[in-house]
Chain A
């Protein structure tokens, strides 16, 4: 169904329209939250918060562009808040340390090597400034265009370009030891 018609039904209070919106948008919002937080439980909770906010907005929702940009904007803000909270509490996720399913069949040495690489990459990404990290996640994992990233982050495309350049430069320097 056409997104604007679905939104119109949602705004008029149709619960079935809201359910359909959740069904369509949930997978990508969940993936985005997981990319930021690296933890399923937190990703699920933030995801619920995102859709609860949409539900509360109800008739007040004004469509400016695609619905996902609105949802992603809320998700990014909530994820960054959660990360700031964690930093204040010195929280570390144990989920990052869990073995990755695709690597289970590999030899222990290779598994360890992969794990170390993965942790180094995770650390380098987590240490990026918030705006650069957001732009990178939206581009690399959510595969958004520059103009979509600009809408989510409410900035210009030139800023997105600059943020991505800086993020990649920083990663290139930080991960130098892992590059062939």
Chain B
């Protein structure tokens, strides 16, 4: 069966790389002689191959072995105690977290303890826009009401 232009174009790349068998190569050659379209594709593909030659090559740099040996030595030094390092880093992090937690809890409890003794009186004073209950005149009706209110509030807290 004769190859069509589509098949020829598909096989051109491999054909130009010497990948076609003798029969196939002969068939492609004879087709290219009579088909200007496929002939043009082959010409363009050759030109593409030539254009690819424009990209510069780079000569290998000398003393690569020396540079590689230095890098290997550097990597070896870094990897000398990998297990210890792998164990120590998380240990440091966990220790820092535990110490931070203990210090935070301790200072927090100290701060709260100092506040609890006068918390009820302070709250009531704040609700009346007073600095403290000392602002009420002694033996006044206001002081009597608030002493009563404080006692009642404290008493409610004691109820089961």
Residues of A within 8 A of B (CB): 19, 22-23, 26-27, 30-31, 34-35, 38, 40, 43-44, 47-48, 51-52, 55, 100, 114, 117-118, 121-122, 125, 136, 139-141, 146, 161, 164-165, 168-169, 171-172, 175-176, 178-180
Contacts and interface: CB of A to CB of B under 8 A. Distances in A.
Given A161-B14, A165-B10, A48 B57 contact: no
Contact of A52 (B12, B14, B72): B72
Given A30-B64, A52-B71, A164 B56 contact: no
Contacts, number: 90
Contact of A117 (B48, B51, B64, B71): B51
Contacts of A40: 58, 61
A161 to B, nearest CB: 5
Closest 7 CB pairs of A and B: A34-B58, A165-B13, A30-B60, A27-B60, A118-B54, A179-B47, A171-B48
A43 to B, nearest CB: 7
B60 A48 contact: no
Given A125-B52, A172-B45, A180-B47, A44 B19 contact: no
Contacts of B41: 172
| Most chain B Cβ neighbours within 10 Å, of A23, A114, A169 | A169
B65 interface: yes
B60 A118 contact: no
Contacts of A165: 10, 12-14
B74 to A, nearest CB: 10
Contacts of B17: 139, 146, 164
B64 A168 contact: no
Interface in B47-79: 47-49, 51-52, 54-58, 60-61, 64-65, 67-68, 71-72, 75
Contact of B61 (A30, A55, A121, A168): A30
Max chain A Cβ within 10 angstroms of own Cβ: one of B19, B54, B65:
B54
A41 B21 CA distance: 43
A176 B58 CA distance: 27
B26 to A, nearest CB: 19
B24 interface: no
A118 B57 CA distance: 12
28 contacts: A19-B65, A22-B64, A22-B68, A23-B65, A26-B65, A27-B60, A31-B58, A34-B57, A38-B55, A44-B67, A51-B68, A55-B72, A117-B54, A118-B54, A118-B55, A118-B56, A125-B55, A139-B17, A140-B52, A165-B10, A168-B13, A171-B48, A172-B45, A175-B48, A176-B44, A178-B51, A179-B47, A180-B47
